[in-house]
Amino acid sequence: MIYDIRIRGFVGDKDRYEYYVNVVGGSSFFNVFYEQDEDQHGKCDRFFHGGNELALYQEHIYHQGNGGSFCEYMLGQTKPSRDYLRPEVQNRLVMFGARYDEENIVFTNETAARERFERVFREGNLLCNYFFFISGDIQGELRNVQETIIKHVGKFLKRTPLYDDVDGSRIAVDLYEEIGVKRWKLVLLKIIDRFAVKYKEQVLQSSAKGTIPQQERERLSVLASELGISCEDADRIECDTLYKYHPSNRKLIQEYKELLSLYPKDEKEQETFQLKRVGLRDLARKRGLPLVVFDQLDSLATDVPKIELPEYVQDAKRFLEMLLEKQTEGLTGEELIELFCKRLSAFENNYGFFGELLEGVSNAVVDCFGSEPLRQAVKVHLERYEKAYEIARNIVQIDGFELNSERLSFLAAMKGMMDLLGEGTFERLVLAPVEKHCCDDRSKQLLDRLRTLLSELLCGRLLADEVETSLP
């Protein structure tokens, strides 16, 4: 007797979406109907039985009858509070016709709906999503049928790992066995965004060490544009991949959760607590993890106070908001100097929260009416300034720090660019502030030697590959 069957197809522009339909249950082939049809909404592939239906059109899916959809949660995806508090919950489950009444689920008979694929993937998982219905002798109104189904499958679908399931056949068989009613038939649809999967595979390849180098980010940006993947969706895929495929990143988020649960009552210990909290968030930012995840964890820790912004950070925030509200794509020289000054203030006050500040402001401003190219320009200029400052600071603070040809060439390029904004700008915003950290004569000598090397390199008296033999 036939136990299960599988059908594969494609829909969407350039066959962007690949789907698999798995039918499981005794005599499946003869009890579930499928056809290629066309109506006022266009051509479609229909799968139906007993008043239940899933129909795939070029740009949307139609469903009616019982069942629902589910997918694996992506990192940073908004979840109901109860899911945040249950680490065993891995998946998002939406039953057709269900509504939230405060914290309770209310089932209705209104289960028929059309959903554009764009919305399905945006609100669910950007890579793949599942739809299902059950055909059998389930008695009562649809709302009662839905309640019966969720009692059979709810816990299983919320907690079962989905990411190793290629075509949906494994989860279909496991789900059918979990239901445990042999006279019922299960129809499970898995739909995949092939373009998003291709992008995710490239992200995985580019992040072999748990982070994405700048050169690889530029390559990914080109690929996202070619595939028609928005910046927001590309960021979500990158963050989710960095989290799920790199244990060190998962450990970081778990460490943050544990820290929030240990908020101290002693005021002196609270200062240390906040420093650790800021440090973890800044480390997450540098690794490319979405800070919205940490904001959501903070919102659940109601006893933990928010991180207050010092006055110089509030001043930086106001400047960033003003800067990013512009409709232009570039920065003036005065704006660039002011941007570096704001970042220098954060450095001098050991404030490790500046990256989050920029991200929060840019997300709020640019998404509404700002310029995406301007946001990227601000980000790139800040990253270059931070790198120059940190190299110079490491020279005077770390014994034996290697000032190789690559680092020296970078500093020389930054000095040339910054001094075009105004004579002595590199000295004023990088070398002079770093000199404050010189704790002995040797540190000052190293910094003076750096000044000499940069001058000689810029005027052509020294080649970058001669650096190692030029240091004292």
Give the separation between CA 147 and CA 140, rounded to whole angstroms. Answer: 10
Give the separation between CA 260 and CA 203, rounded to whole angstroms. Answer: 30
- Answer with the residue of higher pLDDT: 206 or 362: 206
Helix, strand, coil share (%) of the chain residues, nearest 5: 55, 15, 30
Query: Per-residue pLDDT averaged across 22-43, rounded?
Result: 80
**374 pLDDT band (50/70/90 cuts)?**
confident
Q: Which of 115-129, 200-214, 315-329, 445-459 has the lowest mean pLDDT?
A: 315-329
- Among 51-65, 400-414, 450-464, top mean pLDDT goes to 51-65
12 C-beta neighbours (distance < 10 Å), count: 20
| pLDDT for the residue 470 | 45
Token pair in block for residue 323: 């800067």
Q: Above pLDDT 90, what percent of the chain?
A: 42
Local structure of residue 459 (DSSP, 8 states): T
Which helix or strand (DSSP H or E) is residue 17 part of?
A: strand 17-24
**Cross-strand partners of 61:** 56, 115
| pLDDT for the residue 183 | 84
With H, G, I as helix, E, B as strand and everything else as coil, classify residue 298: helix
260 C-beta neighbours (distance < 10 Å), count: 17
Tell me how far the alpha carbon of residue 399 is from its chain's centroid: 37
Residue 52 φ then ψ, to 5°: -105, 145
| CA angle, 391 then 392 then 397, to 5° | 95
Concatenated DSSP letters of 51-97: TEEEEE-SSEEEEESS-EEEEEPPTT----HHHHT-TT--EEEEETT
Give the separation between CA 265 and CA 259, rounded to whole angstroms. Answer: 13
pLDDT at 337 over 90: yes
Mean pLDDT computed over every residue of the chain = 85
Per-residue pLDDT of 319-333, as tens digits, reads 888 888 776 777 899
308-317 long-range contacts, Cβ below 8 Å, gap at least 24? 309/353, 309/357, 310/349, 310/351, 312/342, 312/345, 312/346, 312/349, 312/351, 313/346, 313/351, 313/353, 313/354, 313/357, 315/342, 315/345, 316/342, 316/343, 316/345, 316/346, 316/354, 316/357, 317/357, 317/361
Residue 415: closest CA among 379, 384, 449:
384
Token pair in block for residue 8: 């594969």
Token pair in block for residue 451: 């000044």
Longest dimension (CA), the chain: 88
Token pair in block for residue 322: 């003003």
- Answer with the residue of higher pLDDT: 210 or 96: 96
Token pair in block for residue 65: 């009858």
Strands (E), 96-239: 98-101, 104-107, 113-116, 128-135, 185-193
Q: For residues 307 and 260, is the Cβ–Cβ distance under 8 A?
A: no
| pLDDT for the residue 96 | 96
pLDDT at 371 over 70: no
**363 pLDDT band (50/70/90 cuts)?**
low
Q: Which residues of 166-193 are buried (b: 16+ CB within 10 A; e: fewer)?
A: ebbbebbbebbeebeeeebbbbbbbbbb
Give the separation between CA 186 and CA 5, rounded to whole angstroms. Answer: 11
This prediction's pTM: 0.64
285: which residues sit within 8 A by CB, 6+ positions away?
Answer: 291, 355, 356, 359
Query: Per-residue pLDDT averaged across 65-83, rounded?
Result: 85
Query: Per-residue pLDDT averaged across 108-133, rounded?
Result: 96
